[in-house]
Chain A
């Protein structure tokens, strides 16, 4: 980034002010389109329409349904990837209508990740408004099948099949502004299912899948977890039963292992598998661990020029950086040795039990300015120096 860069970035929020309503309108319209995993089609269509209207070349859905557009640069000497996942964990049956108050936008999954998708959809218009023409090609990606069991399938397909290489990546999440993730913690997620055998084997086993799952929970709690390297086992969801007077014959337990060490994840994964096998045999049930999501730990270093440039941009805009690991799409880029960061656009709250999700309006322009500043830095070589 040139010497004048911090000054240039500082003025971006003001320069973006005329775009505020268009950014918010995109956020509202995207948030109102239900998009559970595997049903992202309408959001994909929305992004592609926006790309087409902005004159983005090669705007199309790929084989797995990702929305892809390429904004050609003057030289095309680099490929910068801007990615936001389009799917949410919210079922389509939920009321997706959004409320806009003076300071916030309220609605299901507005922060995770309607706002991220809205920014990707608007980036060509934002750059045009700011009269910025990049040297690099900017690849815009709305990825599908990302959350939950999707396991970043859309992004993985895209990265594995893109002709040419991605030189640098930015993953965009709606929240939280200041988020700067440049390394990915290793993660393994799976569901343990337990099905009770039909008669007569129940005579020597148990009659309740719930009880067996409970035994498994207790055994997992007994696994020794080190404090260094950082490692955690989470049991975040459990499901069994339909009525008070019927013992369930099926139960499920959601387990996640996160660690800075891939070896530790593998070790704990084997221990969990052993527990499940043992319980299966001891109680005469069918118990299995279905590991559907696994990312490796890794990332770029704190001293990487990209990290330095992001911090400089944040400093110029008065954004307090919050550095940490990310379970997002970042891991897919890192696994392919692509320098990348995850950035947030605004502040807000998600997944509260009694109140709907919301994002604050005021920080959005700073969030977009930050993104533009980082793109400019990459375009000027921030990722080239290592």
Chain B
């Protein structure tokens, strides 16, 4: 499938899946279990609202979700207490798969979720969303339930920036438009059709997620796209417009560090596929600068992009999910 054809046929709007009752019936007919993973680190302002709405609408009212779990990176606020009080299963990431050690980062939580959660489909939803709505889940699982050929669904949004006329920008965000889409256009042109490759909401089948490595830090979303693409091609993807998403805005310097991490993940894959060669290992130090009172200060950030092996290679996981070997 060409990317233009894919864009036309595999780009949905969440309203395409408004009939949650049908989704539940079809899910049950296919014998699927669906797990929601909410990765957290100090999200006490928004986690309660997310769990209440998603649990009430998609577990209590319509049993689309079979489990709702928070995988926490060690919050020091009341995130875990609030999540548990509204009925979510709460797991501290460092206490899971202890034999594999622990790293800090969202990707670590997403990776361990594969072991902790039982679903055939895993839905990942960030926990800084201020306007949470059930569409953030049913819009993502809809294509997976409707079409067995879809293995991974990515969200995109309307970012309410000023625009005129009938066209609107893709709203990919600064790192996407300045870094990711140019890189995709150079090395993985098909993937450039994914409108918001860095969005924090996506859903995938366990059967593919367990096969790919997970960077623990900034690069996890980019790595997922490339690694699934290399295994299954563009046809495995779909994307859904979830309308507006209201969340915290990040400062440009923070986005710079994010871009550095993503770039390292990207380069690692280019090297793995022999698309580029480096004479030396790439550095893991990101340098940023502060100016104040006539003085200049260099700040060095160590941004390692540690990668978790594919979960299928972890013995405890195989024992739990593939006991037959």
Residues of A that sit less than 8 Å from B by CB? 18, 21-22, 24-26, 28-29, 32, 97-102
Contacts and interface: CB of A to CB of B under 8 A. Distances in A.
A22 B81 CA distance: 19
24 contacts: A21-B52, A21-B87, A22-B56, A22-B61, A24-B56, A24-B86, A25-B56, A26-B56, A28-B49, A28-B53, A29-B133, A97-B130, A97-B246, A98-B49, A99-B45, A99-B48, A100-B48, A100-B49, A100-B86, A101-B44, A101-B48, A102-B48, A102-B81, A102-B85
B208 to A, nearest CB: 32
Given A28-B49, A100-B48, A21 B86 contact: yes
A216 to B, nearest CB: 45
B78 A25 contact: no
B136 to A, nearest CB: 13
B56 A97 contact: no
Contact of A25 (B57, B81, B82, B130): B57
A373 to B, nearest CB: 23
Contacts of A102: 48, 78, 81-82, 85
A295 B321 CA distance: 68
A100 B52 contact: yes
B302 interface: no
A16 to B, nearest CB: 13
Interface residues on B, range: 20 to 34
Contact of A101 (B57, B78, B130, B246): B78
A128 to B, nearest CB: 12
A23 to B, nearest CB: 8
Interface in B240-281: 246
Contact of A29 (B53, B55, B86): B53
Given A21-B87, A22-B60, A101 B53 contact: no
Given A24-B56, A25-B52, A100 B82 contact: yes
Contacts of A21: 51-52, 55-56, 60, 86-87
What are the 9 tightest A-B residue pairs by CB atom distance, in nearest-first order?
A100-B48, A25-B56, A22-B56, A21-B56, A100-B49, A97-B130, A24-B52, A25-B53, A102-B85
* Residue among B51, B53, B246 having the largest count of chain A Cβ atoms under 10 Å: B53
A21 B65 CA distance: 15
Contacts of B131: 32, 97
A346 to B, nearest CB: 15
A99 B46 contact: yes
Contacts of A101: 44, 48, 78, 82
A1 B60 CA distance: 32
A102 B60 CA distance: 19
Contacts of A22: 56, 60-61
A26 B130 CA distance: 16
Interface centre among B51, B52, B57, B246 (most CB of A within 10 A): B52
Contacts of B48: 99-102
Nearest to A53: B61
Nearest to A97: B130
Given A22-B56, A24-B56, 19 more contacts: A18-B60, A21-B51, A21-B56, A21-B60, A22-B60, A24-B52, A25-B57, A26-B56, A28-B53, A29-B53, A97-B246, A99-B45, A99-B46, A99-B49, A100-B49, A101-B44, A101-B78, A101-B82, A102-B82
- Output the residue of B46, B49, B130 with the most chain A CB within 10 A: B49
Contacts of B85: 102
A53 B15 CA distance: 17
B30 to A, nearest CB: 25
Interface in B115-153: 130-131, 133
A110 to B, nearest CB: 12
Interface string B47-75: 01101110111001100000000000000
Contacts of B61: 22
A264 B276 CA distance: 90
A160 to B, nearest CB: 36
B11 to A, nearest CB: 27
A48 B46 CA distance: 27
A360 to B, nearest CB: 13
Contacts of B55: 21, 25
A369 to B, nearest CB: 19
B177 to A, nearest CB: 26
A324 B57 CA distance: 38
A99 B85 CA distance: 15
**Which of B44, B55, B56, B246 is packed against the most chain A CB atoms within 10 Å?**
B56
Q: Chain A CB within 10 Å — which of B48, B60, B86 has the most?
A: B48
B63 to A, nearest CB: 13
A12 to B, nearest CB: 18
Interface string B76-98: 00100110011100000000000
A133 to B, nearest CB: 21
B196 to A, nearest CB: 21
Contacts of B246: 97
A25 B53 CA distance: 5
B113 to A, nearest CB: 22
Contacts of A26: 56
A195 to B, nearest CB: 39
Nearest to B60: A22
B5 to A, nearest CB: 36
Contacts of A25: 52-53, 55-57
A22 to B, nearest CB: 4
A21 B52 CA distance: 5
